[in-house]
Structure 1
């Protein structure tokens, strides 16, 4: 499986900075943005707490088996980078 990586930066209203990658099949930025919102909501960050500065396509890469399994079941995989 080949996945596309969306580099995502979020500043929460309480001043925290989050940086993470959203990995999905396909190049639909709207889906990547929705998955980023879903992932943040799972961590207790409600929609009104989030000011998403951008979620943009970065590159494509072959998927590690763990990543491929998550994408097959949930539609996405998140790689936390900063502040997560």
Structure 2
């Protein structure tokens, strides 16, 4: 499986900064943004807590089997990078 990587940056209203990658099978930026919001919500960060965010296509890469399995199960995989 080849995945698309979306570089995602989020600033929260309380001054926090989160940087993570959203990996999905297709190149749908709207879908990647929706998955980023779902993942943030699962960590207690609601849209109302976000002052600005960016989720944009970065590159494609072959998926590790664990990543491919997660994408097959839930539609996405997150790689936490900063502040997560």
Deviation at 1:52, TM superposition (A): 3.6
Cα RMSD (Å): 0.7
1:45 is matched with which residue?
Answer: 45
Quote the residue 1:16 is aligned against: 16
With normalisation by structure 2, the TM-score equals 0.97
1:69 equivalent in alignment to 2:75: no
- Quickly say closer, same or farther: Cα 1:67–1:52, change in 2 above 3 A: farther
The offset of 1:53, in angstroms, is 2.4
- TM-score where L is the length of structure 1: 0.97
2:59 is aligned to 59
SS in 1 for 2:54: strand
Alignment coverage as a number of residue pairs: 84
- Shift of the alpha carbon at 1:71? 0.2
Q: What is the match of residue 5 of structure 2?
A: 5
